[in-house]
Copies of this chain bind each other. A is one copy, B any other.
Amino acid sequence: MTISLQSPLDMHLHFRDEEMLQLVAPLSGESFAGGLIMPNLVPPVDHLERLLAYRERITAALKGAEFEPYMALFFRQYSEQELAEAREHTLGIKLYPAGATTNSEAGVKAMDAVEPTFKLMEEMGIPLFVHGESDGFVMDREKEFLGMYDYLARKFPKLQITMEHITTADALEMLEQHENLRATVTLQHLVITLDDVAGGMLNPHLFCKPIAKRPEDREALLAAALAAHPKLMLGSDSAPHPVSQKECCGCAAGVFTAPLLLPRLAQLFDKHAALDNLQAFTSQNAQRLYNITPRKKTIVLEKADFVVPESYEGFGQKVVPMHAGETLTWRIHKVL
């Protein structure tokens, strides 16, 4: 049994830089036609020249793979001229509330001070990507941020706002409230809950931000993904960290999923008799919502065992993926 996916897209992706970029970029390049690359480097990608240079490093690291790196600027106050110059090189701008996630210390602290930039983005049709978490109690951070989505969506009704990596049923409800909201969801938030992170042994390889939530949240997200909810896109948030920063006292947040995304999603959608909707969830929704036309690329997936490697290594880096050592029931058969 096989299925073919046309030009799958991963609309929330961390490539990092330097050696880690060399290791992980080809792993997405193998099976995706493109992806939205997050700008949270140190220093952040918040100038056009920095963005263009990062794009060149990504292109080199992809080593000829047919993969379009859609770029995002890191949010700050931008002038109209800066935005006009950046417009053709970026899919949008990523906003991190200060301190909420990896390398986001430079994020925005006071939302109202930057509203002129939101206004410019709205007028120029530049999407806003948001890591939507408050600085509150870990299980409440997304819910506490939903009022900010509501506020922004009302105040800037033409601004396209993406609720990145949503993790709760409450976020799905907010998604329905405004035409200009859309959302990404990761693989892990479709399959795990806090139980998998801290219910038995502590599992650092499933620790991410936003943290996995309650069973009813996972069920709601999974139902929306399986139905190919028209405002919901795959955005893996695949986030490699060196193993030395994961299996240690005080491990960093992020789950690495890039190389197994499509097999695992095929297994999940197959289990729920929803394979017909995998194409929309992994590509068409993003094409329509962002008005993009990716490169033509066909991924043929086959229902056959795939043992996920214990780690991916190279360039002096070692990254442990989700489901390391486990056997998935679908694999990539060929790429055309």
With contacts A202-B202, A204-B202 known, is A214 near B249, CB below 8 A? no
> Do the beta carbons of B198 and A249 come within 8 Å of each other?
no
Inter-chain contacts of A251 with B (CB < 8 A): 201-202
Nearest CB in chain B to that of A204: its residue: B202
| A195 surroundings in chain B (CB, below 8 A) | 137-138
A193 proximal to B (CB < 8 A): yes
Q: B247 to A139, Cβ gap below 8 A?
A: no
Q: Would you call A15 an interface residue if the criterion is a C-beta within 8 Å of the partner chain's C-beta atoms?
A: no
List residues 200-235 of chain A with CB under 8 A from any CB of chain B: 201-205, 207, 211, 214-215
Contact among B138, B199, B201, B246 with A194 in the assembled complex (CB-CB below 8 Å):
B138
Q: Are B137 and A204 in contact (CB under 8 A)?
A: no
Q: A214-B137, A214-B139, A215-B137 are in contact. Are A250 and B202 (CB under 8 A)?
A: yes
| A252 CA / B202 CA spacing, docked (Å) | 7
Please, how many residues of chain A have a CB less than 8 angstroms from a CB on the other chain?
Answer: 27
Whether the Cβ atoms of A137 and B194 lie closer than 8 Å is yes
Assembly stoichiometry (copies): 2
- Alpha-carbon distance between A193 and B253 when the two chains are bound, in angstroms: 18
Contact between chains at A211 and B193 (CB < 8 Å): no
* A99: min CB distance to chain B, Å: 9
Please name the residue on chain B nearest to A250 by beta carbon: B201
Is A248 an interface residue, CB under 8 A from the partner?
Answer: yes
Give Cα A103 to B214, complex, Å.
Answer: 26
CB within 8 A of A253: which of B201, B204, B248, B250? B201
Mostly, the A contact residues are: loop
Question: A304 at interface (Cβ–Cβ under 8 A)?
Answer: no
Bound Cα distance from A138 to B195, whole angstroms? 6
Asked if A138 contacts B198 (CB within 8 A), the reply is yes
Q: Complex Cα distance A195/B135, Å?
A: 10
A-B contact pairs, 17 of them (CB 8 A): A137-B195, A138-B198, A139-B139, A139-B194, A198-B207, A199-B211, A201-B250, A201-B252, A202-B202, A202-B204, A202-B253, A203-B249, A203-B250, A204-B249, A246-B249, A247-B247, A249-B320
Q: Which of A's residues lie within 8 Å of B, judged by CB?
A: 137-139, 193-195, 197-199, 201-205, 207, 211, 214-215, 246-253, 320
Q: Could you list 9 further interchain pairs (A-B, Cβ under 8 angstroms) beyond the known A137-B194, A247-B249? A: A138-B194, A138-B199, A139-B214, A198-B198, A198-B207, A199-B211, A202-B204, A247-B248, A249-B320
